Copies of this chain bind each other. A is one copy, B any other.
Amino acid sequence: MAEIAATAGIGKGTIYEYFNSKEDLFFAVFEWLSHKIASAATVRISALGGSAAERLVALNDSVVCSVLKMMDMYSLVMEFWAASSSSVMRKRFKTAFRQAYRDFRAIVTSLIQEGIERGEFTSGVNPESIAAALVGMWDALLLQAWFDDAFEPLKTSKDFLVILLVGLAAEKQKL
């Protein structure tokens, strides 16, 4: 807290004018980063033209690139994950994370759903499962990149998405 106050150029006591506790401040940072990532990553999909496949590729690029740009903050994400497992802060963080993941999955789900309705994607697919896996993949590729400088999350995700899109479009080939 002393270090934060010093960095902010205020006295330690002043922090407590704005936050009731260190945990409150920590949670506020979590929400701030959460919104920052969400708004940076989620390009206005509906505004974007093109096929569902094209938009999925665009979303992939946007998510991976924007998180890569703030890779220096990635350690924070891990701190937040840990917070969601700490007995004291668990509830708050767990709830927030659950909601954040649900929201993000919902966006991707609707994009895939639309692809099915348009006839681009096979109807045999469960949009929610694909969305969850994609969201997870973004998370995890960035995590692997954090551990390994040699790892290329953008290339990897693009390669992967190409294959996935072939699978999604399978029905078309039967026509």
Q: Does A85 contact B (CB under 8 A)?
A: yes
Number of identical monomers bound together in the oligomeric complex: 2
Interface size, chain A (Cβ < 8 Å): 47
A19 contacts partner chain B, Cβ-Cβ < 8 Å: no
Mostly, the A contact residues are helix
How far apart are A34's CB and chain B's nearest CB, in angstroms? 13
A102 at the interface (CB under 8 A from B): yes
State which of A25-33, A36-44, A46-54, A160-168 sits at the interface with chain B. Answer: A160-168
A163 engages B130 (CB within 8 Å): yes
A143-175 Cβ-contact flags toward B at 8 Å (1 or 0): 110111001000111011001111110100100
* Complex alpha-carbon distance, A128 and B76, angstroms: 28
A132: chain B residues within 8 A (beta carbon) = 141, 144, 151, 156, 160
How many Å lie between the Cα of A48 and that of B166 in the bound state? 28
Q: Which of B101, B122, B148 contacts A98 (CB 8 A)?
A: B148
Residues of B contacting A85 in the complex (Cβ-Cβ under 8 angstroms) = 74-76, 78-79, 146
Tell me the nearest residue of chain B to A159, going by C-beta: B129
- Select from chain B the residue with minimum beta-carbon distance to A94: B147
Q: Is A133 an interface residue (CB 8 A)?
A: yes
Determine if A119 is an interface residue (Cβ-Cβ < 8 Å): no
Please give, as numbers and ranges, the residues of chain B lying within 8 Å of A136 by CB-CB distance.
136-137, 139-141, 143-144
A59 adjacent to chain B (CB < 8 Å): no
Cβ of A10 within 8 Å of any chain B Cβ, yes or no, is no
Q: Which parts of A75-105 form the interface with B (CB within 8 Å)?
A: 75-76, 78-79, 81-82, 84-85, 94, 97-98, 101-102
Q: Does A5 touch B at the CB level, under 8 Å?
A: no
